[in-house]
Amino acid sequence: MKNCRFKLGVSRSNPLIPWLFLSPLLIVNILVILGPGVGSVYFALTKWSGLGAAEFIGLANFARMLEDPVYHKALTNNVKWTIIFLTVPIAMSLVAAYLLSAVKKGQLVFRLAFFLPYVLPSVVNAHIWQTLFHPFRGIGAQLRKAGYPFLDLKFFGDTNIVLYSIAFVDNWHWWGFLVVVFLAAMQGIDPSLYEAARIDGANRFAQFRYITIPGIRPTLVFMMLMTTIWSFLVFDYIYILTQGGPANASEVLGTYAYKLAFTRFEAGYAAAVGVTMSIITGMIVSLFLYLRRRGWEI
C-alpha cells in the first residue's frame, strides 16, 4: 500500500506525465486533422491545381461561389437532403422502435434485420438498388410490361426525382440504425411510468408523446444533430449512383468539391467549397452547444 501511495503521489506531483501518455494521440490528431484543416483554409485562399505552387488570391474563391450556379444547386440539394433525413427516417425509426419495444420474444432477430442494411458496404447497397431501378431490367420496366407504363419511372435518370430516389436508397440503410439506437434508449425508461399512464387511461399515442419522447429526448436530439451534420457531408451514395447527375440534379457540396479537385483540377476552389461545408457544420454544432448552455435537456 505504501508503494502504491508513493507511486500515485509521484504521478500527481508531475503534471507532464498525463501529457506524455497523451502525446501519441495528440501527434496523430495534429497530423491527420489539424494539419489538413489548416492547409485547406490556406489553399481556399489560393488558385491551385493540386500540383505545383499555389497562387494567393485572397477571398476570390468565396466571391466566385456567389455567382456559381452549380454551387447554389449543390447547397440547395444539401438543404433538401437534410430536411428529408430529419423527417422521414426519424419518424419511421421512432414509430418502429416504439412498436418493437413491446415485443418481448425474438426482439434480437428484429434488431438484426433492421441493422443489417447499415452494416453492408455502401457500394453493395448501391449496386442492389441500381439493379432494382435499372431502366430496362428493374422494377419500372417490369411494371411497364405488366400493363402499368405510368409507373415506369427513370429513378436515377429523371432530374425531378433523382435526388429523392437516392435519398430513398440511403434511407433504406440508415433508418434501421436509428431504430436500434432509439430502441436502446427506450429500454432505459422506467416501466412504472407506462404502468401509471395506463392506470390513468392513457392510450398508446399519449404514452408515446408524453413518456417515450421526453424519455429519449437527449438521444433523439443528438441523432438529429448527427443526421444534420452527416447530411451536409453526404457523398458516397450520390457519387456511386449518379455522380451528381443528370445535369447536376443530384449534385451536393461533397460531390462538387470532389469533381473540382480531381476532375477539373481546381483544388483551391474545391478547398473553399470544403471550408464552407466546415463552417455550416460548425454553426450547427455551435447551435447545439448554445441550447445546452441555455438549459435545454439535450
Higher pLDDT, residue 94 or 135: 94
Instruction: Kindly indicate the confidence band of residue 94, based on its pLDDT and cuts at 50, 70 and 90.
Output: very high
Residue 83, pLDDT score:
94
Residue type, 208: F
Closest C-alpha to 81, from 280, 282, 272, 283: 280
What's the mean pLDDT in 212-233? 89
pTM, rounded to two decimals: 0.85
SS3 18: helix
- Start-to-end CA distance of the chain, whole Å, equals 43
* Contact assessment for residue 270 and residue 260, using Cβ atoms and an 8 Å cutoff: yes
- pLDDT, tens only, 122-144: 899 999 999 999 888 888 888 88
Strand partners, 55: 47
* Contact assessment for residue 260 and residue 268, using Cβ atoms and an 8 Å cutoff: no
Q: Going from the N-terminus, what domains does the chain have, and what CATH number goes with each?
A: 62-293 (1.10.3720.10)
Closest C-alpha to 169, from 126, 210, 198, 212: 126
Chain mean position to CA 153 = 27
| Choice among 4-18, 29-43, 154-168, 244-258 with the minimum mean pLDDT | 4-18
b/e string for 51-71 if b means 16 or more Cβ within 10 A?
Answer: eeebeebeeebeeebeebeeb
- pLDDT, tens only, 203-222: 888 999 999 999 998 899 88
- pLDDT, tens only, 74-92: 999 999 999 999 999 999 9
